[in-house]
Amino acid sequence: MLETVRGWIREARHIAVLTGAGMSAESGVPTFRDAQTGLWSQFNPQELATEAAFRAHPQRVWDWYAHRREMIAGVAPNAGHVALAAFEQRHPGRLTLITQNVDGLHQRAGHTNALALHGNIADDRWLDAPRACCRVDAIEAGRPPRCPVCGNLRRPAVVWFGEHLPTVALEAAEQAARHCELMLVVGTSGEVYPAAGLALTAHQCGARVVIVNPEVTPLDAVAELCLRQPAALCLPLLLA
C-alpha cells in the first residue's frame, strides 16, 4: 500500500495535507484533554477554552495556557513534521499543509505557509477590538498582560469553543481541498468540524483521500486507502 500511495504522490500536481492532534502527540504534546494534569485536573478544558471563561477568570485561563505553552516548548517536531517540511521545500507550490494543531511544530520544522485553522498557542492578540492606545510595543505585563491605558487584555491567539475559524486560513484550506488531486489526512480524529469536512470536500471533488492514522476514524469511509501507522514512521517513507 505504501508504494501505491507513493505513486499517487508522484502523479499529483497538487497535494493537500490535513493534520490533527495525533501527529503532535507523537512528539509528546499532550492532547487537549490530556493536558489536564496536576493542578489543572480539577478543571474541564472546555470550561477554560472559551471567551466567557477568560472574561470571568482571566488569570486562571492565562495560567492554564502558560502551562500548556511550557509543555509544548519542551518538545520537538518529529520525523513526520520534518518529512512534510522537506517535501514542501523540494516541491514549492505542490503541497498545501492544513493543520488543526496550535503547537507550531509544523512551522518549527520549516513550513512557511502552514494554514493553522485553530491559531497558534505561542501568539497573543487583543481580547477586544484594539483602540489607538492598544499598542503592542507598550503592553503592561501581567497574568494576562493588558493595555495600560484602557485595560484591554491580551489573550492566546487560538480559536476557542464557540468562535469562528480564521476566515483567510479557512478559505485557503477549502480552496486546496476543492482543487487537490490527493489529500493525506494525518493523525486527526475526523470528528472536529469544519476541519474534518475538508476531507469530504476533497473526496466529493474527485481527489484521492488517504488516511494516515493507527486508529479507525469516521473519515475512513471516504478514503481510498487507510495506512494504520503513526505519522513519524509513515510520512518519511511516503515523502522521501
Q: Tell me: the pLDDT tens digits for 146-203? A: 999 999 999 999 999 999 999 999 999 999 999 999 999 999 988 888 998 999 999 9
Main-chain dihedrals φ then ψ at residue 85, nearest 5 degrees: -65, -40
Give the DSSP H/E element, type plus range, for residue 191.
none
- What is the rounded distance in angstroms from the CA atom of residue 40 to the CA atom of residue 123? 22
Q: Which residues of 214-232 are buried (b: 16+ CB within 10 A; e: fewer)?
A: eeebebeebbbebbebbbb
Calculate mean pLDDT across residues 135-155.
97
CATH of 30-74+123-158, picked from 1.10.260.40, 1.10.1660.10, 3.10.20.70, 3.30.1600.10, is 3.30.1600.10
Does residue 8 carry a pLDDT above 80? yes
Please provide the average confidence, as pLDDT, over all residues in the chain: 92
- What is the rounded distance in angstroms from the CA atom of residue 31 to the CA atom of residue 170? 22
In a 10 Å sphere around its CB, with 0-12 CB exposed, 13-18 middle and 19+ buried, how is residue 50 labelled? middle
pTM metric for this prediction: 0.91
Does residue 116 carry a pLDDT above 90? yes
What CA dihedral angle connects 195, 117, 115 and 108, to 10 degrees? Answer: -120
Q: How far is CA 148 from CA 50, 66, 214, in A?
A: 24, 21, 49
Q: Where in the chain is the domain with CATH 3.40.50.1220?
A: 2-28+77-118+165-239
Per mean pLDDT, which of 34-48, 56-70, 139-153 is the most reliable? Answer: 139-153
Q: Where in the chain is the domain with CATH 3.30.1600.10?
A: 30-74+123-158
Active site residues: 118
90: how many CB neighbours lie within 10 A of its CB? 10
What is residue 92's three-state secondary structure?
Answer: coil
CATH topology of domain 2-28+77-118+165-239: Rossmann fold (3.40.50)
Q: Are 209 and 224 in contact (CB under 8 A)?
A: yes
pLDDT computed for residue 192 by the predictor: 84
Q: How do strand 15-19 and strand 95-99 relate by DSSP bridges?
A: parallel
pLDDT computed for residue 57 by the predictor: 94
